[in-house]
Structure 1
Amino acid sequence: MTGTDEHGLKIQKAAEERELEPLAFCDELSQHFRGLAVKANISNTRFSRTTERDHHQAVHHLWRELDSKGLIYKGSHEGWYSISDECFYTDSQIIHVEATPSTEEHHISTETRSRVEWTREENYKFRLSAFQESLLAHFQKHPNAIFPPQHHSDIIATLSSPMDDLSVSRPSSRLSWGIPVPNDPEHTIYVWIDALTVYLSATGYPWTATGGSGKQVGWPPNLQIIGKDILRFHAIYFPAMLQALGLPLTQQLLTHSHWTVDQRKMSKSVGNVADPIQAIDEFGIDLVRFYLARVGGRFKDDVDWSHEQLDKHAREITSLLGNLLMRITSKKIQERTEGKPLTPAAEAFKHMKEDSPTLPLYQTFQGLGGKVEEKMDQLMLADVLEDIVITLGKVCASQNIISVISPFDSTQANQLMTNTAPWAATTDTQTVIELYVCIIECLRICGILLQPFMPSKAEMLLDALGVPAEERFIANANLGTGSVGQIQTGIRLFSLPQRQKTM
């Protein structure tokens, strides 16, 4: 599931600046993100909005459940509040920034660098501290509950230190755009309690029709994907609420780092903002997706967005995959193999001579599907693409396949084919057939494995190879576990933007 969190002071103020009613402003924003998902070729089972009536009712139900257990009480609260982050920070989590000729002195969060203001108010609190020990025990027992490991360690450290109860409401005089506290219209439920409940409401919580467990509708999730700046909310606040409700916790949190520009967090005021729409329009979504996963798919550290690197990686996969498909399915090679008996790849490999130029390539991709499946389970997306690129690179390496070309060196592309010259009349037919069968099998396997990353181009590739729809699953991504059909010629997978000439 995905969707839009639409309540809170930040949204309220942004709507006021646009002179729009908050709901009309959110309708516009929600549609924008739906459009981005479509443009990015991202599917979802459920797109949830926190302004939906069913979600509103779910939040009220959750609040009443917590209140009935004596876990909510009214008290005073003060601290450094960030409107953009919608949360309070302690003294140890803020930095004083001296005044400059153009700015007044102020304070910012050490975690997000957003501006904070000292705020004191009466509100409702949730007895978060009552769940500190049980949460600590849970994460100590489940070392893979948060990935990458450094974030798991951070949460363990946080839970090992004294913990205050959590403010779960704001005075409605300050925050009117949100869900009111049941039976107390003078208070609005804290936006993060509202936002976190969407994971439950998206599955139909409180599940009265299914007996209340949620298991029948997919609870708990096996994976939630979040940014590192909101880990505390998803690894401490939300699990505490779930424990209070007697519900199972999310099995694993994938906590990704951020994309930066010039090694700085993107900021409209600074002007270092990368535009994904512009990149998609220029390169096409599949090449952008490939770049994002290839460079950012290790999640551990922030990664700098670079148009030059996007161009470089786009040309990498175009050379290794697109050019290879065009060459092996060329009319000339089709003419040389047409009507000839083609030994299936697995059988050809089984009886291959040790000096065959295609033997090392077979050895590279015969277990590729299993290796990729294992790394996908371990959330190692960049490593998966590295394995696929190396496999394709070995097709493009020298004939003896001793060294792998640099992934970015397109000058050696398809060197194996060049050295073998299957289109030449002087190359014996058996050599042509061996090379053809090997490379087609390699493309079939890589096409299946690239589907999560480059769905449109992978589909084009598999269509060009005549791979049946029912044979495009991970189980088919190993040597001899699938088939090809009528091979199409002249298929151009990619169309790159022209490089601008420099003086």
Structure 2
Amino acid sequence: MADILARHARLTRPDEKVYFLAGTDEHGLKIQKAAQDRGLEPSVFCDELSEKFRELARSADASHTRFIRTTEQDHYDAVQHVWNSLDSKGLIYKGSHQGWYSISDECFYTESQIARVKGPEGDEIITSAETGSKVEWMQEENYKFRLSAFRDSLLARYKSDPDSVYPQHQHAYVLDMLSGPLEDLSISRPRSRLHWGIPVPSDPEHTMYVWFDALTVYLTGAGYPWKSPEGTQWPPDVQIIGKDIVRFHAIYFPAMLQALNLPLPKRLLAHSHWTVHRQKMSKSVGNVADPFQAMDEWSVDLVRYYLAYVGGRFRDDVDWSPEQLEKRSLELHSFLGNFYMRVTAESIRTRLPDDIHLRLPTLLQSSVDVPQLSRGAESLQHLSLIVGEHLQAFEVAEALEAIINQLKSANLLLNETTPWKPTTPPELVQHVYALSLETLRVCGILLQPFIPRKAGEVLHALGVAPTMRQWRHALYGGGTTGDVQQGLRLFTRRTKPTSKVAK
């Protein structure tokens, strides 16, 4: 989703630099314990993990401008700078902290945030009501951030800007969390318990709490601490996070930013989760989907298409389904791949004059008394605006659906006008051909954020120059095609059986 929005930004603002931060959060007790269980030093363990995620980003064609690790020296320096800045303002103090702690969530929970359930053997299991992770009671001395001082300013911000958190129910959730007093936030752990992390500058016996460290990574990625506010990459237009960490990104981090007198991110997009059989993916349960396997079997663009079309509504969790992926892949095969082959087929080409490409601009601008052609041209003229508005509103699935509907209509137009038949008037054949190529050109441009490889293949096959592939060119008559390649096979049928969920 981040890559789709970043690519769209580059297409709509070609003269601006678009920054896209990705990376790995590598500190904390969870990592420390996982490395210990593997018999590895945490640094070695993190090197392996981080490289795997970097490889995943490369495989998925993520166009990030920086891949950052929280173990980098730049980040170490930035976090210590943030700590010292807050400390100098009297916003950090030492005190006793107790509560229910989840190692997997790296988070303390209050009594009201836990659930007590009966285990399979009748024993009581205490979990986070929000995430379902097991918690245990901890009491220790640590450093705290005066989060309570920022409740009113945060509440005012979110009340004044209903679009600051998307989707809407997550905005309501943030307001609900701010409806009562905020407790000050524990931001360190004793080093005797947690040694894998950034030490507190003034007290080496304490390690910074993983979330204080991890949240600062956005500032690090923007070059913090910057020498001057001019020309910095802050604030971001959008932060994209999982719905289970809204509290940290909508309350904790903004409070830190307000304390530093820095602007808040303009918008927060909280995505839902991918599940399997309506259950959270879990290695212990064995219901884990493997993205590498899926991309190898279906291709990266078909997986990207599926993820955007099915997962791009953000309202509810969605099930990862190889069967549904197969269905969506056939849809793209038909409406895009087969459409290109039909339009450029020899049966139509032989019915066109040799100088057809010289005639295309005139054909697009001339009128013809065929309602389907008029409707197709009109809808194509407005398509980029509709898709752009959807993406600006984070309606990723709806944006993609608008493009596919345009391609569906174009396929239907071919069926209705039958330009390959000898009985179809030559003038109609030429107009249908011109509109079909224009549909492929416009949709090819608009599909670049979603399926960059295949969209690029389409535009290349149409002879669309690289300088004519910006969003502003995705208008009816807003660009030109060149020598059109015939017989382009965008997709090949899979020979492998449908993937099952991997254990």
- Among residues 124, 136, 161, which one is paired with 1:117 in the alignment? 136
Query: Which shifted more, 92-101 or 170-179?
Result: 92-101
Alpha-carbon distance in 2 for matches of 1:499, 1:273 = 19
User: 2:479 is matched with which residue?
Assistant: 482
Aligned AA for 1:93?
Q
Alpha-carbon distance in 2 for matches of 1:500, 1:195 = 41
Alpha-carbon distance in 2 for matches of 1:499, 1:286 = 17
Cα distance change, pair 342–60 in 1 and its aligned pair in 2 (3 A): closer
2:4 is equivalent to residue 7 of structure 1: no
Alignment deviations for residues 83-109 of structure 1 (CA, whole Å, 9 cap, x no partner): 0000001111111121324x8532111
User: 1:410 is matched with which residue?
Assistant: none
SS of equivalent residue, structure 2 residue 46? helix
Alignment deviations for residues 148-170 of structure 1 (CA, whole Å, 9 cap, x no partner): 11111111111111211000000
User: 2:172 is matched with which residue?
Assistant: 153
SS of equivalent residue, structure 1 residue 17? helix
SS of equivalent residue, structure 1 residue 120? strand
User: 2:442 is matched with which residue?
Assistant: 445
> Is contact 1:345-1:441 (8 Å) kept?
no
TM-score in terms of structure 2 length = 0.92
Alpha-carbon distance in 2 for matches of 1:368, 1:357 = 16
User: 1:290 is matched with which residue?
Assistant: 305
> Is contact 1:330-1:490 (8 Å) kept?
yes
Alpha-carbon distance in 2 for matches of 1:142, 1:443 = 39
The alpha carbon displacement at 1:79 in A equals 0.6
Aligned AA for 1:477?
A
> Is contact 1:95-1:110 (8 Å) kept?
yes
User: 1:428 is matched with which residue?
Assistant: 425
User: 2:103 is matched with which residue?
Assistant: 83
Please list, as runs of the form range in 1=range in 2, the aligned pairs for 1:162-177 lying within 5 A after superposition: 162-177=181-196
SS of equivalent residue, structure 2 residue 463? coil
The alpha carbon displacement at 1:358 in A equals 2.2
> Is contact 2:441-2:462 (8 Å) kept?
yes
Alignment deviations for residues 335-385 of structure 1 (CA, whole Å, 9 cap, x no partner): 332414457667535532333542222222121011111111111111111
> Is contact 1:8-1:191 (8 Å) kept?
yes
Alpha-carbon distance in 1 for matches of 2:366, 2:452 = 34
Aligned AA for 1:28?
E
2:88 is equivalent to residue 42 of structure 1: no
> Is contact 1:344-1:480 (8 Å) kept?
no
Query: Which shifted more, 103-112 or 3-12?
Result: 103-112
User: 1:179 is matched with which residue?
Assistant: 198
- Among residues 252, 272, 278, which one is paired with 1:263 in the alignment? 278
Structure 2 portions without partners, runs of 5+ = 1-20, 499-503
Alignment deviations for residues 388-433 of structure 1 (CA, whole Å, 9 cap, x no partner): 1111111223xxxxxxxxxxxxxxxxxx324433223333321211
SS of equivalent residue, structure 2 residue 126? strand
Alpha-carbon distance in 2 for matches of 1:332, 1:99 = 68
The alpha carbon displacement at 1:309 in A equals 0.6
TM-score in terms of structure 1 length = 0.92
2:370 is equivalent to residue 355 of structure 1: yes
- Among residues 249, 255, 258, which one is paired with 1:234 in the alignment? 249
2:463 is equivalent to residue 466 of structure 1: yes
The alpha carbon displacement at 1:198 in A equals 0.7
Aligned AA for 1:486?
D
Cα distance change, pair 281–499 in 1 and its aligned pair in 2 (3 A): closer
Aligned AA for 1:352?
S
2:338 is equivalent to residue 323 of structure 1: yes
> Is contact 1:315-1:496 (8 Å) kept?
no
> Is contact 1:345-1:480 (8 Å) kept?
no
Alpha-carbon distance in 2 for matches of 1:342, 1:47 = 44
Alpha-carbon distance in 1 for matches of 2:417, 2:219 = 59
Structure 1 portions without partners, runs of 5+ = 398-415
Alpha-carbon distance in 2 for matches of 1:430, 1:142 = 54
User: 2:488 is matched with which residue?
Assistant: 491
The alpha carbon displacement at 1:282 in A equals 0.7
Query: Which shifted more, 446-455 or 261-270?
Result: 261-270
Aligned AA for 2:448?
Q
Alpha-carbon distance in 2 for matches of 1:435, 1:356 = 12
2:300 is equivalent to residue 281 of structure 1: no
> Is contact 1:326-1:489 (8 Å) kept?
yes
User: 1:246 is matched with which residue?
Assistant: 261
User: 1:204 is matched with which residue?
Assistant: 223
| Structure with larger RCO (C-alpha < 8 A, sep 6+) | 2
> Is contact 1:3-1:47 (8 Å) kept?
yes
User: 2:147 is matched with which residue?
Assistant: 128
The alpha carbon displacement at 1:277 in A equals 1.1
User: 1:96 is matched with which residue?
Assistant: 116
> Is contact 1:242-1:249 (8 Å) kept?
yes
Alpha-carbon distance in 2 for matches of 1:357, 1:183 = 73
Aligned AA for 1:261?
V
User: 2:42 is matched with which residue?
Assistant: 22
Query: Which shifted more, 140-149 or 492-501?
Result: 492-501
Cα distance change, pair 345–121 in 1 and its aligned pair in 2 (3 A): farther
> Is contact 1:80-1:116 (8 Å) kept?
yes
2:351 is equivalent to residue 336 of structure 1: yes
Aligned AA for 2:440?
L
> Is contact 1:96-1:108 (8 Å) kept?
yes
Alpha-carbon distance in 2 for matches of 1:289, 1:33 = 16
Alpha-carbon distance in 1 for matches of 2:111, 2:255 = 24
> Is contact 2:364-2:434 (8 Å) kept?
no
Alignment deviations for residues 289-323 of structure 1 (CA, whole Å, 9 cap, x no partner): 00111111111111111111100001001100000
Aligned AA for 2:125?
H
Alignment deviations for residues 47-66 of structure 1 (CA, whole Å, 9 cap, x no partner): 11111111111111110111
> Is contact 1:320-1:396 (8 Å) kept?
yes
User: 1:216 is matched with which residue?
Assistant: 231
| Aligned CA-pair RMSD | 1.6
Cα distance change, pair 79–306 in 1 and its aligned pair in 2 (3 A): same
Alpha-carbon distance in 2 for matches of 1:291, 1:65 = 45
The alpha carbon displacement at 1:74 in A equals 0.6
User: 1:401 is matched with which residue?
Assistant: none
Alpha-carbon distance in 2 for matches of 1:295, 1:335 = 40
